[in-house]
Structure 1
């Protein structure tokens, strides 16, 4: 049944909304705005961009979020002076969420391939990393709670899909959850020996709040439309249907002019609406 299918949304920029807003509003699709990852945007006047987004999304009743700042830093940074800069960037992202009425902000995972192979050779390494992450994020989590925003921690190099789940759960807060980027998971599966994408979905369980839908070849971060790479989409959407959560599913492509085409492909495959 069509009504039983998940609704596919889109990660895009405000200029993309100029053409895609009607499709989004007609289907009441979830939206993630990605304009605010740009450093010059964070340090400039982003208010006109927010106002234009709200104008274009007039009548939109789907869920709205942003991709948070991430360039040049990791949330497990041990240096207090650099941590202060990271906290300021996260706060800027939450300022934008407040202005938009956005309810999710994507934050990048700190877990690297190096971590997978090295953290457990030192019995204190994981604890130190967790302390550093909490020192970085605690203030942002408290503010996110007050704003009704979920910080969705997205896999980047993650090889063990349970690492982010344990991290999100460690905050004991409804404001921290898990994001999955399907292409990143497929890269990790093909290149570093991580489990396949559907395992990432199942590992997230009830903490899965958000998914970037993109196809890849298992070698690089391609951001191709679904169907152009080698991800087994039937297994991914089967796992999503069995998920106890209701994650936002947003297409995240290298070429946003193909968002509608990519959405149509998933619809034609009977995977989404």
Structure 2
């Protein structure tokens, strides 16, 4: 595999981001400082199904301005929002009330992103996670996305779908099919490399498909059926092949380490070590391919 020296430098030395849940929880100023101290250049915010994080959608104008000030003070922006609340409130739900709430969440998340200067909202590919399978779930999901996408385009916020740990949207190929179906420049893909391994897919081959379509990538390790809390280097993700592939296709978008913190006292050190491991693995992989 031919390696481009200029791309090798760009890939190994590029800015990296960290998922909010990898940090010790607390006020945003402190979390941004943690990310900076661990060597990261940006943070990805979580809007999951928990009441505490969903409450962010109702933040006052003053709270939003305060976070913008924290971003400016630390120099660590929030590039993206991981909107996983749709796992609980499915856009593809058979229940009209659930779909209405899912639509409200997406609308309000777009407004929050616009107010904070967030570039991308990652949309989880769950149709109706907690409900029995339905042949109509996908079409309802797409209809909900179309409505939310119209608002996102108006506010200048990119939506991008993530392949997830269920069969609803399992692969990069699935995400590309949805992207083509929606056919809107404000809707792209934000793949999760680890979730490809969860489904025992050809990780490097699927990674090659992100060319020209991915506005971000989640980097995490994983195993078949085990999508979370697998330390880097202990799962089945073939990271050297992934990085060689990204180099070959000249991927130059953001790279975000998706991790979960279970011990606030060690969070910064674990994140620092993970970033060091990723950078070294990139360097080694691309050096061996040159």
Q: Secondary structure at the match of 2:217?
A: strand
- Report deviation, 1:108: 0.8
Aligned partners of 1:97 and 1:73: how far apart in 2?
A: 19
**What do residues 117-154 of structure 1 show as CA deviations (whole Å, max 9, x unaligned)?**
x99xxxxx5xx455312321122101111222111211
Aligned partners of 1:184 and 1:149: how far apart in 2?
A: 25
- Report deviation, 1:268: 2.1
Aligned partners of 2:46 and 2:123: how far apart in 1?
A: 12
- Residues 1:20 and 2:32 are matched in the alignment: no
**What do residues 217-251 of structure 1 show as CA deviations (whole Å, max 9, x unaligned)?**
32312233422322110111122223365332100
Runs (4 or more) in structure 1 with deviation over 6 Å come to none
Aligned residues: 253
Residue of structure 1 equivalent to 2:24:
none
Residue of structure 2 equivalent to 1:55:
69
Q: Which has the higher contact order (CA 8 A, sep 6+)?
A: 2
Matches within 5 A, 1:96-175: 96-110=112-126, 125=135, 128-156=136-164, 157=166, 158-175=169-186
**What do residues 4-26 of structure 1 show as CA deviations (whole Å, max 9, x unaligned)?**
224322121634223223555xx
Residues 178 and 208 in structure 1, CA contact (< 8 A), matched pair in contact too:
yes
Matches within 5 A, 1:25-104: 29-34=41-46, 38-43=50-55, 45-47=58-60, 50-58=64-72, 60=75, 64-68=79-83, 69-104=85-120
Q: TM-score, normalised by structure 1?
A: 0.79
Select 1:263's aligned residue among 241, 257, 275: 275
Higher alpha-carbon deviation: 98-107 or 14-23:
14-23
Q: Secondary structure at the match of 1:223?
A: strand
- Report deviation, 1:186: 1.1
Q: TM-score, normalised by structure 2?
A: 0.75
- Report deviation, 1:88: 0.6
User: Do the aligned partners of residues 184 and 103 (structure 1) sit closer, same or farther apart at CA in structure 2, a change above 3 Å counting?
Assistant: same
Residue of structure 2 equivalent to 1:253:
259
In structure 1, list runs of 5 or more residues that go unmatched.
Answer: 120-124, 190-194
Aligned partners of 2:18 and 2:70: how far apart in 1?
A: 14
- Report deviation, 1:90: 0.8
Residues 37 and 67 in structure 1, CA contact (< 8 A), matched pair in contact too:
no
Aligned partners of 2:20 and 2:255: how far apart in 1?
A: 13
Aligned partners of 1:111 and 1:205: how far apart in 2?
A: 25
Higher alpha-carbon deviation: 202-211 or 144-153:
202-211
